[in-house]
Amino acid sequence: MKKTGKTKKLIALFAALALTLTALTSCSAVSDAFDFLYDALTNGGVRVLGDFNDLTYEKPDFDAIDNDIDELKSALADGKKTKSYYIDRLSEIIGKYYYDALTMENLAFLRYCNDITDASLREEYYTLISESEKTAAKLEELYSVCAASEYKADFEEQCFGKGFLDSYSGDIIEYPPEYTALRGKEAALMSEYSAAMSELTVEYDGKTYTSADISAVEDEELYNRLVSAYYTKFNPTLAEIYVKLVGVRNEIAVMLGYGSCTDYSFDSYSREYSGDDLKAYFSGIKEHIVPLYRKISDDITSGGPSPFPYASPDRVKSLGKELAGKMSPKLGRIFGSMEKKHLVTVGSSDKMYYGSFQIYLNSCDSPYIFVNGEGSEYDVLTLMHEFGHFTSAYYNHGSTGSNDEAEVASSALELLTLKYADGVFDSETAASIGKSGILSIISSLVECAAYSEFENLVYSDKALTAEKCNGYFRQVAEEYGISGGDGGYLFVNNYQRGYEMAEHEGISLGVSISTGEIHFPKQDIKNGDYFFYPFQFPLADGQVLRWINQTPLCQINRKLWFFYGTEPLSYELNAAEMLSGQALVVTDRIWAKRAWQMAKYPNALFFSEAPFLETETGMELIRRSDCTQDVCWMVLDTAEELAEPWLTNGWKIVDEMPDFLHVEGDTSILCVLKYDLKPFENPVGVAFEKEGCECEREAYQEYSIQLTCDKICDAASEDVFLQIDFQADQAELYLDGEKIADQYYIGDAWEVGLKR
């Protein structure tokens, strides 16, 4: 089945909706034009919005629309009706679906959002979603029939807009019966998930806590206990539903001709960029935005709770209107019209849907915004964000482009709010609004990127489990600097300079987390030992180290994980019995200090006693004549890079692991190479000769130093280092009578580079 690109087509259809509605009521077109002009002139240039209170909910009859679609398809196939008949019937169907039915579906959603504890409202809404998707699929089939009709150009002129049916040309679209069943299954799982989310309370110490109650707890120890109890209770249930939902959505995507739901989402969100573009975006967020996100978060947290005064819903709307008016008189009038026409809900209730959004009501050609906040003046920021969506939909009659584009208007208005905060809030609240507003924008970038990458991971996993879901979340939370899960590090220090610390034999280290106790293997802790062990450590592909008795060193491509330590390797995974697509590479502390990573070679880790230097043409090994090293080593991620280019430059693949490396997991994704070093060809000889000294100072002596080095003058790229081990207060070095270096006694040999 060919890809339908349904979302893009529906957006175009919304843009053409006004034309369709005009066709339905064309008899009064001139009168309507004069009425609109009068309204615009008498309402400050603000178009007249529909009144939400004039809408009455009636459950839409999607079956009737389906029958109309089937009848029109049959009529088009027979070809016995007139052109005007086809156009009128098509216009009527479009009006019934987009104008009437979808408005009622949105009303059902709003009714549910105002009371998520009402099971009947929830069930009705999710039933409508399933029925609506079924009708949308039938419309897709109808559009492909229209595209093949001799009246294609007439349909576009009267009902859609020029070019709309082009993407439907070709094979007639026919959805199999299984598609409708899968959409029904998807809606049922969404309803089940929402039902579980509406009942999330936890009992602790004789008191019932909701998620909002937990967020308001100031005692850090109590807060941590409540969060632990909360997630321990609900994570298994919600994860199980979510895993099923991912499976169903992947089935739907494949049925529609996509490789996975990840691919399908690009059309669903009308994204005009590639997966590689998205990866580059994720990388940029991690590199540039995450550090700023963490810094601002830490600064705000360290300053204590922000003082946001209580604000009733009316107070929040009043502040929003004042801000809009200060930005622009016309924005103020639009805000006033929104209030007058009852097109906004602001609340703060556990019974309401926790969040905010904007939807469009086609039957009254008006946007609507819903905000359920925390009940403080901070909610004004959320309101203004949604008002940005409202104004965009207001000017574009609901056609706001892709989801990504829609966020531009909302985030921009939220940022603009900060400019006018001083004139609306008191100074303390305005300052807090400013900090929190900036953090809100940055958080959106970070958290949305993290969630998007999380979705890519889970929808790409063909063997997804609840444990792997949790692992993926920990992985992205770690990468994006978002606090999540209960992972961390256990630090041990048994070293103090100048003192001999007591030794501890057979010590079992442990830590307590939400899922129970973690105990590391028994070990001896000697004088001078210091190390840290990770627990709940996210690897990749949803795999998590519950614990490992080694210290992290670095990682390559989230596949090769390097650790070091003194104990024999021991570890435990959270779920999987063995590592898949991952490898743990363990060495000791000495070789950990000899590990080198270079930006030019991101797929490799080098091991060398002598330091590597990255150059414009490659790399150099900075080796001294007293260095006994005769080989360099490299661990290469062969899943990302072939070894052949290295082999042509003198490196060799080793058959056995060197003694200082131990590998656990998938050894097929790495290889170890070595490079044999030639003996040093330019030895340096040095001689000291004590000279007579005319200085009368005591304990003063001069020495003459002679160096012999073959071709030393030709070795432009090499340096010669002179080590002088002296015991005196001060030493000075002269070359041809000119002082070139000096040193105070510090207990170590004095090293001087002689390259001049």
How many degrees, rounded to 5, is the angle at CA 420 between CA 394 and CA 440?
A: 75
The secondary structure of 585-629 as a DSSP string is EEE-HHHHTTEEEETTEEEEEEE-SSPEEE-SSSEEE---TT---
Which range has the worst mean pLDDT, 58-72, 90-104, 698-712? Answer: 698-712
Residues 586-614 as b or e (16 or more Cβ within 10 Å = b):
bbeeebbebbbbeeebebbbbbbebebee
Using CA of residue 205, residue 208, residue 210, residue 214, what is the dihedral sign? negative
> In 10 A of CB 343, how many CB atoms?
22
Contact present, 589 and 565 (Cβ < 8 Å)? yes
Q: Which residue has the higher pLDDT, 64 or 694?
A: 64
The side-by-side arrangement of strands in the sheet containing 488-493 is 488-493, 530-538, 544-548, 571-573
What mean pLDDT is reported for the chain? 84
Counting DSSP H helices and E strands in the chain, the numbers are 22, 30
CA distance 378 to 215: 15
- Tell me the C-alpha distance between 48 and 519, whole Å: 67
Percent of the chain with pLDDT over 90: 42
Alpha helices for 256-285 (secondary structure H): 261-268, 275-284
Give the Cα separation of 343 and 320 in Å (integer).
14
What average pLDDT does this structure show over 729-734?
84
Q: b/e map of 9-28 (b: 16 or more CB within 10 Å)?
A: bbbbbbbbbeebbebeeeee
Q: Does position 19 have pLDDT exceeding 60, yes or no?
A: no
What pLDDT does 28 receive?
A: 41
- State how far the Cα of 503 lies from the Cα of 669, in Å rounded to an integer: 40
Residue 100 is which amino acid? D
* Cα(652)–Cα(141) distance, integer angstroms: 61
pLDDT at residue 66 tops 50:
yes
What would the pLDDT profile of 36-57 be if each residue is shown by its tens digit?
444 444 455 667 899 999 999 9
Which alpha helices (H) appear in 56-176, and where do they start and end?
A: 62-78, 83-94, 102-113, 119-147, 152-155
Contact 684, 709 (CB under 8 A): yes
Which residues contact residue 678 at a Cβ distance below 8 angstroms, ignoring those fewer than 6 apart? none
- State residue 415 phi and psi, 5-degree precision: -65, -40
Cα(389)–Cα(343) distance, rounded to whole angstroms? 13
Q: What's the sign of the alpha-carbon dihedral 592, 594, 595, 597?
A: positive
**In this predicted structure, what is the pLDDT of residue 307?**
64
Give pLDDT tens digits for 484-533: 556 788 999 998 888 889 999 999 998 877 667 889 999 999 998 999 99
| 478 against 667, higher pLDDT | 667
Type of residue found at 450: A
Mean pLDDT calculated for residue range 640-661: 91
Least confident segment among 309-313, 365-369, 434-438: 434-438
Using DSSP, state whether 141 is helix, strand or coil: helix
pLDDT digits (tens, 9 = 90+) for 255-284: 888 888 888 888 777 777 887 888 899 999
Angle, vertex CA 381, rays to CA 376 and CA 386, nearest 5 = 120
- Look up residue 485 and give its two tokens: 């899960």
Position 180, amino acid: T
Q: At what angle do helices 119-147 and 62-78 cross, to 10 degrees?
A: 10
Q: What pLDDT score does 722 carry?
A: 78
Going from the C-alpha of 681 to that of each of 674, 689, 712, the distances in angstroms are 21, 26, 11
**What are the backbone angles phi and psi of residue 441, rounded to the nearest 5°?**
-65, -45
pLDDT over 90 at 246, yes or no? yes
Query: Residues 617, 619, 624, 629: what is their CA dihedral angle, to the nearest 10 degrees?
Result: -140
Structure tokens at 582: 């991952």
What's the gap between Cα 238 and its chain centre? 20
pLDDT of residue 689: 64
Strand intervals (E) in 160-304: 201-204, 207-210
Specify whether the backbone of 665 is left (phi greater than 0), alpha (psi in -120 to 50) or beta: left
Tokens for 429, please give them. 């609240």
Segment 237-260 shows an average pLDDT of 90
Q: What is the mean pLDDT of residues 420-440?
A: 88
CA 481, distance to chain mean position in Å, is 10
Lowest pLDDT segment from 125-139, 339-353, 462-476, 615-629: 615-629
Confidence of residue 715 (pLDDT cuts 50, 70, 90): very low
Residue type, 511: V
Structure tokens at 713: 């003058």
Looking at per-residue pLDDT, the higher value among 211 and 65 belongs to: 65
Quickly count: other Cβ atoms within 10 Å of residue 438's Cβ. 15
DSSP code per residue over 225-271: HHHHHHHHHHHHHHHHHHHHHHHHHHHHHHHTT-SSHHHHHHHHTT-
Choose among 672, 247, 279: nearest CA to 449: 279
Q: Judge whether 408 and 467 are in contact, CB under 8 Å.
A: no
Q: Is 417 helix (H, G, I), strand (E, B) or coil?
A: helix
The pLDDT assigned to 306 comes to: 58
> Would you mind telling me the total number of residues written for the chain in this entry?
756
The mean per-residue pLDDT over the stretch 459-464 comes to 90
| Alpha-carbon span 380 to 368, nearest angstrom | 16
